[in-house]
Amino acid sequence: MQPDELFSSKIQSLCPTITGNVCCTEAQFDTLRSHVQQAIPLLVGCPACLRNFLNLFCELSCSPDQSLFINVTSTSEVNGNLTVDGIEFSLTDTFGEGLHNSCKEVKFGTMNTRAIEFIAGAFDWIPKKLFAFIGSKAPLGFPGSPYAIDFKTRVPDSSEMKLMNVSAYSCGDALLGCSCGDCPLSPACSASEPPSPQRGFVFS
């Protein structure tokens, strides 16, 4: 659908990667915004991490191309209405690793604790665990996803599905860069250690 000027400006304020047509109503967008607001205070200290996190959910909720990388796998009937109960979300390794790497050292306020621990709920989290947590269905009335999300980084050759490939920002990005405390491997941090080799990861 083509949003009106006011709705378009609201989308741009949260989802600058989405322009033109959108695949969400204004009510659905307002729900998206209320959900991600819970994470913003934890990640706002690192603009690149926050932008990657928001882009993940913006693409999920409002991208006009979402039918190319999102597949509904289960539905349920609630009060006589058919609702989505589970989906597959296909995205590139590059985006998954980029989000993980930009957020993994972000600290939460003065507690000097990694913000991701508040989101993923585990100290020894890894990319696969992080996305598994993000994709877990939250109980009714609790913050989190209203349906289960199974993240995939591969699609069958015979499938018409594509991998979501929005660019992921590095925490050392010149415009969205983070402090050395939140991004010790940034080129701007002279005391940082050389980055260790990154290995690709597969959700399933």
| Residue ranges per structural domain of the chain | 5-152
Q: Is-contact 102 48, C-beta < 8 A?
A: yes
Question: Is the confidence at residue 191, as pLDDT, over 60?
Answer: no
pLDDT (0 to 100) of residue 125: 55
Digit-coded pLDDT (tens) for 133-167? 788 887 766 666 778 899 999 998 888 899 999 99
Question: Is the confidence at residue 27, as pLDDT, over 90?
Answer: yes
3-state secondary structure of 74: strand
CB atoms within 10 A of CB 21: 12
**pTM confidence score:** 0.82
Nearest to 146, CA basis, from 79, 75, 95: 75
CB atoms within 10 A of CB 128: 16
Instruction: Give the mean model confidence (pLDDT) for residues 67-73.
Output: 94
